[in-house]
C-alpha cells in the first residue's frame, strides 16, 4: 500500500471513529411521566431541558409521559409547565450516552394569586417606588438556601447599584433571588443571565420576582425584572413590553438620567 493510500485509509478510519463518538455523546435520553400530587397523570405538560448551550422541548403525551431523545451527555436543568399548576424544576439532571435517564414530576396545583398592578406604568414611577434598582448576574441555585414552594431560587451577584437604598446600605456580594413559578409564570431565569431589578422592599439580602406582570398582596419584598441577553432586553414586565428587543443601553441611559434627577 502506498503512503498516500495508507494516510487516506487512516483518515477514513479516524473520521468513522469521530462520527461514532459524536453519535454516542448525543444519544442520551431523558424520559418520565408528569403527575399531580394525587398521582393523576397530566397530559399536555411542556417539558424543557437546558444545559451546555442545548435547549430541547417536548410535550407529555395522552398518558402524561414524555421522552427527550438525542441529548448530548451532560447536566441539564429540566422544567415542566402546565396551566393551573406551579412550574416545577429539577437542577443538575445528568444524562449519559446510550442511557435512558428517568425523571418524573409531581406538580402542585397553583394557589390563587391575589395580585395588584400599578396604575402608573411609567419607568419614572417605578424608580420612585423602588427601594433600590440593581443590575445583577445570576449563578447556580444555592443548595444551602431554602427554596419556598412555588418558587425557583438563584444566587445573584450585584454588578451595579443603580439606585442605592434610602438607608444607604451597601448592596454588594451575593443576593438570594426567588422567582415565582406559579401558574402561567415564565420559565426560571438561567445561570449567567443578567437582570435589571426594581427592588420594592426593605431587605438587602433577598428579593422575589413574583411574576412578570404584577405584584402579590402581602409580600414584603418583591421586584420587577428586565432580562438582558446578548446586549438587548429579552423579557420585561407586560406593562414595559415596548422595551423588548431594544438595546440594553436604552434602558441603562434612562435609569442614569433618573439617577441624576434624583434629589
Mean pLDDT computed over 144-151: 64
DSSP state of 211: -
Check if the beta carbon of residue 49 is closer than 8 Å to that of residue 77: yes
- Which positions ≥6 away from 238 have C-beta within 8 Å? 212, 213
Mean pLDDT computed over 184-206: 77
Mean pLDDT computed over 65-90: 91
Check if the beta carbon of residue 197 is closer than 8 Å to that of residue 204: no
Nearest to 106, CA basis, from 133, 86, 123: 86
| pTM: predicted TM-score of the whole model, two decimal places | 0.69
**3-state class of 37 per DSSP?**
coil
Confidence of residue 192 (pLDDT cuts 50, 70, 90): confident
Same fold flag, 3-107 and 115-261: no
pLDDT of residue 49: 94
Per CATH, domain 115-261 is 2.40.50.120: yes
Check if the beta carbon of residue 209 is closer than 8 Å to that of residue 180: yes
Domain ranges of the chain: 3-107, 115-261
**3-state class of 167 per DSSP?**
coil
The pLDDT tens digits of the residues spanning 84-141 come to 888 888 989 999 998 999 999 999 887 655 444 444 568 888 888 788 888 989 887 6
Per CATH, domain 3-107 is 3.40.50.2300: no
Amino acid at each position: 500500500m502506498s503512503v498516500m493510500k495508507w494516510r487516506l485509509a487512516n483518515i477514513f478510519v479516524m473520521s468513522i471513529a469521530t462520527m461514532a463518538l459524536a453519535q454516542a455523546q448525543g444519544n442520551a435520553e431523558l424520559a418520565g411521566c408528569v403527575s399531580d400530587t394525587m398521582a393523576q397523570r397530566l397530559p399536555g405538560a411542556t417539558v424543557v431541558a437546558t444545559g451546555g448551550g442545548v435547549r430541547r422541548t417536548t410535550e407529555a403525551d395522552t398518558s402524561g409521559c414524555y421522552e427527550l431523545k438525542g441529548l448530548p451527555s451532560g447536566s441539564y436543568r429540566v422544567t415542566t409547565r402546565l396551566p393551573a399548576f406551579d412550574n416545577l424544576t429539577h437542577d443538575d439532571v445528568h444524562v449519559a450516552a446510550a442511557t435512558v435517564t428517568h425523571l418524573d414530576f409531581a406538580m402542585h396545583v397553583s394557589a390563587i394569586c391575589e395580585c395588584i398592578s400599578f396604575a402608573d406604568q411609567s419607568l419614572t414611577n417605578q424608580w420612585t417606588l423602588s427601594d433600590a434598582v440593581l443590575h445583577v448576574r445570576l449563578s447556580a441555585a444555592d443548595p444551602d438556601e431554602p427554596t419556598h414552594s412555588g418558587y425557583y431560587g438563584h444566587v445573584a451577584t450585584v454588578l451595579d447599584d443603580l439606585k442605592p437604598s434610602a438607608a444607604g446600605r451597601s448592596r454588594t456580594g451575593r443576593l438570594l433571588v426567588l422567582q415565582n413559578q406559579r401558574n402561567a409564570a415564565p420559565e426560571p431565569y438561567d445561570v449567567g443571565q443578567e437582570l435589571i431589578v426594581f427592588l420594592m422592599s426593605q431587605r438587602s439580602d433577598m428579593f422575589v420576582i413574583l411574576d412578570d406582570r404584577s405584584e402579590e398582596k402581602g409580600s414584603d419584598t418583591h421586584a420587577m425584572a428586565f432580562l438582558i441577553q446578548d446586549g438587548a432586553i429579552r423579557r420585561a414586565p407586560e406593562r414595559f413590553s415596548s422595551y423588548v428587543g431594544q438595546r440594553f443601553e436604552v434602558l441603562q441611559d434612562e435609569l442614569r438620567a433618573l439617577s441624576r434627577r434624583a434629589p
